[in-house]
Structure 1
Amino acid sequence: MPSLGRTLLALVAVTTGIGGYIADWNTTHVYNPRWPPHAKFHNGQTMSTGLLLGVSAIYYLVRATPSPALELQSLYFATWLLCLNWIAQLSASLYPGSLPMDPEFGDGFPQLYICTGLLSVVGLGYALERRRMA
């Protein structure tokens, strides 16, 4: 049975993998007729990147490791992979002309809560798993 720490990390990995599709496969993004094709291209790139990061993190969380050192290295790498997508999403608001939401759909920065919440779960999962491994 997986530990609580690994379970939390795996839940974030699944969220990372499918979250972009849940949030963006609709009229606000993929099917938004006002979005230029190049913006849709980059949205697709972002969704695919999240999927690849999530699947890769799961691989490193569940793969068999022959030594405690390699198990720890896999944990480090899975944790890093899970942080990348959410850090990148937070940083996107810093680019010139970007907004966290299209004005026609509202305002605010809902990603701030999603990203910081998931990064907190990653931190908790990592800490619990490190304690279990020690």
Structure 2
Amino acid sequence: MNAQRTARLPPDVNRVLFVRNLPFKITTEEMYEVFGKYGAIRQIRVGNAQDTRGTAFVIYEDIFDAKNACEHLQGFNILGRYLIVLYYQQNKITKKMNLQKKEDELKEMKARYGVDDE
């Protein structure tokens, strides 16, 4: 068994990478070209909505390929933009969404009961 397979990985390492600072006109094919050099890819989702442009999710088949890609592509220059490559962390996203939901509920209750912030 090779040493890579027996190495312990940090808890935040997973098969899903979240990529930011992508050129808006990058295609999925170009993404496969760049990220595919590091291993088999299960799926790539490039953001195309106004608030998700310039971002993508890259899902590798193997966690070690994702780790290798993350280490090598962090700061990689594509069309004059330097990539930000992070491990996707569902709990951070969920926490942020829950916080927003709580803030919205609080605003609604304040409005319903006529409570001012001052």
TM class, shorter-length: under 0.3
Higher-Rg structure is 2
Higher relative contact order (CA 8 A, sep 6+): 1
Give the structure with the larger strand fraction. Answer: 2
